[in-house]
A and B are shown apart, each in its own frame.
Chain A
């Protein structure tokens, strides 16, 4: 079927030698195209295998959290802004009801909210309000407050690539940790909680 493809245009050259050369070259190259596609795909998959999702550098680490001022998800009449983050260490979690990976980390967030005493604030990203609320009703709601970022503008300020992402913001409103992708128990144990203890010497759990 590839024979119905046209030979690359050599219009303007009108050199028969040259056109024959391209003709021959194309005759060889076109059968190698599927193989080339495979090589590209494999390169991609290999890179994907070796990547550690936690190693995404962020210029936001140790800088004050970017400004935002958004309506709340549960009650559009009320608003939430950067100032509300201050006072206690907070986990800002970017999520959406259409995001499959968010479902994976959700039970972990519920556990965190219940056991660690860490305040969790949601940033609902490019979502429909009703769907987001229905999602929370179905799966449980770990968030103290949720900012509704329907057009994703605040997420741009925060340098969000995709959902889910989580930021640890200390009591002074400075970002201490950024995690791209769903949170896992290992990430919480080896990164989030140690960093939380560093930045916030008070025991996170009142019972400790």
Chain B
């Protein structure tokens, strides 16, 4: 009964989404206030039914209802309860349901925090979000129903993919989807503004907090994913340039560009068409990412659901949504005029460089991701574009971005004298060069140029941001005054830039000075790596709830003192009989010790992969600092315009939270 209830709730959500699209949009065009006012309650109802459907699927998982095909394929009676719940979004159908639920959550948030915006604008925004969800709900109901039944029911489930049985999976996809789907808000705002013909500074100001929120979630989601891949996939990499990773990274790059470009549109009334196009593209790339992952056009390490028929449907959604919006853009954009003028050397100019670099980076990732597909479509065979391409293209772009990023906060809007800026920055540049040079000489090992470049740009970002903060403090002598001199918007920006510098240090040092070694270790044997000595102490068998494992105890010694005890495992999951490497990591601020078991060699020995990864934590630490900066910036008082309810309610309803 529960699955049928869920299925029914999905169908109701689809009906409501259709209404939410048609009536408010028509109302906004024909100036019918009652039709427009339907948008908010419709969004609430749709969210309610999506949540009901989601709850039903969770209930089926908890109750081990193996008559539901999706449950039977992705769960098992031995699977621990938290993973049974996380398994809801562990595969195709359920993750689509999550996608759709999150979209409706964003809708409700927009409905709730938009009372300062004109009703017609809100109606259009919610209508656009409604039609997007029509696409996804119908996709689910027609091609990938999570509630499909099978009779007789399976006696036992096929278990969740062991790779996904991990706390990382519980958080990673919801965070990532919050980000992906969150860009639909900026997208809908842009479309609503295009339909209404008013692409102006208020539109940009309304979009800013929403774009920031989505960006924060996406940042956290990508960092979690990278961290999860690092400790779960068992070979110690933190980024693979895998199509699925790229799919989340491209919207992030464009979202970052969008945040900056929105600032210009808001403050200076420039870049309007560009901002609008970025908003459309950021969400389009989220959709494209969904298409690439779900359709199986690309072979990827974690493309877990691949089906050409579904691919055609998502492609249809993509064409209608993106094609429609770009057509609208082509019709409306010629009439949009920027009033803000600026010199090439000004904050606008530097933000333009930022935008261009980020756009080129996103385009390079897109090219690398689609190149194999293009070759295949032209009949030239299937290939795999590897990290060499991405690293070659990406590293110079990020260094360039870092240089511009240091200058941005120090320049004025409109126009800035180059000589004056050079005078201010000379000591900073000198300090960065000295610090980076001495670090490069100390670390050395024939990688001096890249060490220097990476650390120079990182310290450049760090110090020039510090300089910008100090200049704001120039006439403040009390702590209170100092606090007041930094608005949340400014300090959020400074913090996010600091996060970028931290990540840059992490990437540079880990990539250049990480050491790894594959050795054969029997009990009592030792191996040396990067100043540490690893000793295999013992091997034993361990039984988990749904797996059996061999566990090794390996101690790491430094100058004959034990610094870490590591317990790597090799697991065999009973149902899917797939082996899984559970790496053991001794985490530290300056270095991680990473030990993973390979294959047994003979009776008492194992091949073991040892890694010493300096500063690898900084990569994720930096991402967290970036996200914190985003939160701080989003909390700025300027954005609290949506909370005040409209003075007169048009539909007579009462808002309980008001």
Interface residues of A (CB under 8 A from B): 1-3, 27-28, 31-32, 34-35, 38-39, 41-42, 44-51, 53, 56, 96, 98-104, 133-134, 137-138, 140, 161-163, 165, 180-182
Contacts and interface: CB of A to CB of B under 8 A. Distances in A.
Contact of B242 (A49, A100, A163, A182): A100
A49 B518 CA distance: 40
A138 B610 CA distance: 12
A98 B387 contact: yes
Contact of A31 (B329, B380, B518, B598): B329
Contacts of B274: 1-2
A34 B295 CA distance: 24
B318 interface: yes
26 contacts: A2-B274, A35-B327, A35-B329, A38-B284, A44-B370, A45-B315, A49-B297, A49-B312, A50-B308, A51-B377, A53-B376, A98-B384, A100-B242, A100-B300, A100-B384, A103-B301, A104-B299, A134-B518, A134-B609, A138-B599, A138-B609, A140-B599, A161-B375, A161-B381, A163-B384, A165-B381
B295 A49 contact: yes
Given A27-B334, A35-B330, A137 B599 contact: yes
A104 B384 CA distance: 12
B563 interface: no
A48 B377 CA distance: 5
B383 A100 contact: no
A27 B607 CA distance: 65
B240 interface: yes
A103 B234 CA distance: 14
B373 interface: yes
A51 B379 CA distance: 9
B530 interface: no
Interface in B231-255: 235, 240, 242
Given A1-B274, A100-B299, A104-B301, A47 B377 contact: yes
A161 B379 CA distance: 10
Contact of A38 (B323, B338, B386, B607): B323
A109 B377 CA distance: 27
A153 B329 CA distance: 49
B382 A180 contact: yes
A101 B271 contact: no
Nearest to A49: B311
B240 A45 contact: no
Nearest to A99: B384
* 6 nearest CB pairs, A to B: A162-B383, A161-B381, A1-B274, A47-B377, A181-B382, A98-B386
A45 B273 CA distance: 27
Interface of B: 235, 240, 242, 271, 273-274, 277, 280-281, 284, 288, 291, 295, 297, 299-301, 308, 311-312, 315, 318-319, 322-323, 326-327, 329-330, 333-334, 338, 352, 355, 370, 372-377, 379-384, 386-388, 518, 598-599, 607, 609
Contacts of A39: 323
Given A100-B242, A140-B599, A162-B372, A53 B382 contact: yes
Contacts of B326: 34-35, 38
B329 A34 contact: yes
A47 to B, nearest CB: 4
Given A1-B271, A35-B327, A38-B323, A162 B384 contact: yes
Given A49-B308, A100-B242, A140-B599, A1 B273 contact: yes
Contacts of A134: 518, 609
B273 A2 contact: yes
Contacts of A140: 599
Contacts of B381: 56, 161-162, 165, 180-181
A45 B370 CA distance: 9
B327 to A, nearest CB: 6
Nearest to B378: A47
B299 A181 contact: yes
B308 A31 contact: no
| Residue from A27, A38, A102 having most chain B Cβ neighbours under 10 A | A38
Given A31-B329, A134-B518, A138-B598, A49 B375 contact: no
A201 B315 CA distance: 46
A2 B291 CA distance: 29
B273 A48 contact: no
B330 A44 contact: no
Nearest to B516: A134
A1 B352 contact: yes
A51 B308 CA distance: 10
Contacts of B300: 100
Given A134-B518, A165-B381, 11 more contacts: A28-B334, A31-B329, A42-B315, A45-B297, A45-B373, A48-B297, A51-B376, A100-B242, A102-B384, A137-B607, A180-B382
Contacts of B288: 41
A133 B607 CA distance: 12
Given A31-B334, A34-B277, A35-B327, A44 B598 contact: no
Contacts of A103: 301
Contacts of B323: 35, 38-39, 42
Contacts of A46: 315
B381 to A, nearest CB: 3
Given A1-B352, A31-B333, A103-B301, A163 B383 contact: yes
B299 A101 contact: yes
B595 to A, nearest CB: 13
Nearest to B578: A107
A52 to B, nearest CB: 10
A39 B345 CA distance: 36
Given A1-B273, A34-B277, A44 B379 contact: no
A1 B373 CA distance: 31
Contacts of B301: 100, 103-104
| Residue from B291, B300, B322, B377 having most chain A Cβ neighbours under 10 A | B377
Contacts of A48: 297, 373, 376-377
B251 to A, nearest CB: 15
| Residue from B295, B326, B333, B338 having most chain A Cβ neighbours under 10 A | B326
A125 to B, nearest CB: 10
B329 A161 contact: no
Contacts of B387: 98
Contacts of B372: 162
Contacts of A38: 284, 319, 322-323, 326
Contacts of B295: 49
Contacts of A42: 315, 318-319, 323
Given A35-B330, A38-B322, A134-B609, A98 B379 contact: no
A86 to B, nearest CB: 27
B240 A31 contact: no
A206 B383 CA distance: 35
B481 to A, nearest CB: 39
Contacts of B284: 38
A104 B318 CA distance: 28
Nearest to B242: A100
B554 to A, nearest CB: 17
A23 to B, nearest CB: 13
Contacts of B235: 138
A137 B234 CA distance: 13
A14 to B, nearest CB: 27
A38 B320 CA distance: 11
Contacts of A3: 338
A138 to B, nearest CB: 5
A132 to B, nearest CB: 12
